Amino acid sequence: MSMSVGSGGEGEPLVEMNTTPLIDVMLVLLTLLIITIPIQTHAVKLDMPRPNNAPPPTPPETVELVVDFDGTITWNGNVVTVPQLDGYLKNASEQATQPEIHVAPNRLASYDRVAEVLAHAQRMGVTKIGFVGIDQYN
């Protein structure tokens, strides 16, 4: 950052240009250029099948399985015991088209009791099972 001024052999001053500010500006411009370049995304083109908008010929049968706050299990509104539940689940798994089992645990239901019901469903071979009423936990 110095400028050397001296007398030359012929009486002319010797002046050197200070390049440090020029280099600083170039580095800032290079940094801004690197930041503003868009990120390259690698897209994979896939040929997806056409959506089938036709509704199923018959709506699937649904079963509402509720686990209440005190551990009571209801199958489509009827209170059942664990052996009865196993029988219902076994019948459901043996049907040609399994019904959809909608598990609706109460907000205050014990996690252990709900896990026990799901374990029974898995043991009996039920594959179409899902939770409903999850919005009460938000």
Q: How do strand 100-105 and strand 73-75 relate by DSSP bridges?
A: unpaired
The per-residue pLDDT for 84 is 93
Q: Are 109 and 138 in contact (CB under 8 A)?
A: no
Return d(Cα 43, Cα 22) in angstroms, integer.
Answer: 40
pLDDT at residue 50, as a whole number: 86
Q: Which tokens sit at 23?
A: 């280099």
What domains lie within the chain, and their CATH numbers? Answer: 62-137 (3.30.420)
Place of tokens 């907000």: 107
CA–CA separation, 26 and 36 (whole Å): 15
Please report, for residues 11, 31, 54, 63, 79, the alpha-carbon distance to residue 82 in angstroms, rounded to integers and kept in the order given: 110, 68, 39, 16, 10
Distance, in Å, from the CA atom of 38 to the CA atom of 60, rounded to the nearest integer, reads 48
The pTM score is: 0.56
Q: What is the mean pLDDT of each run of 10 residues along the chain (138 residues)?
A: 56 80 93 84 80 79 91 92 93 89 90 92 90 76
Phi, psi of 106, deg, nearest 5: -70, 155
> In angstroms, rounded to a whole number, what is the distance separating the alpha carbons of residues 95 and 137?
33
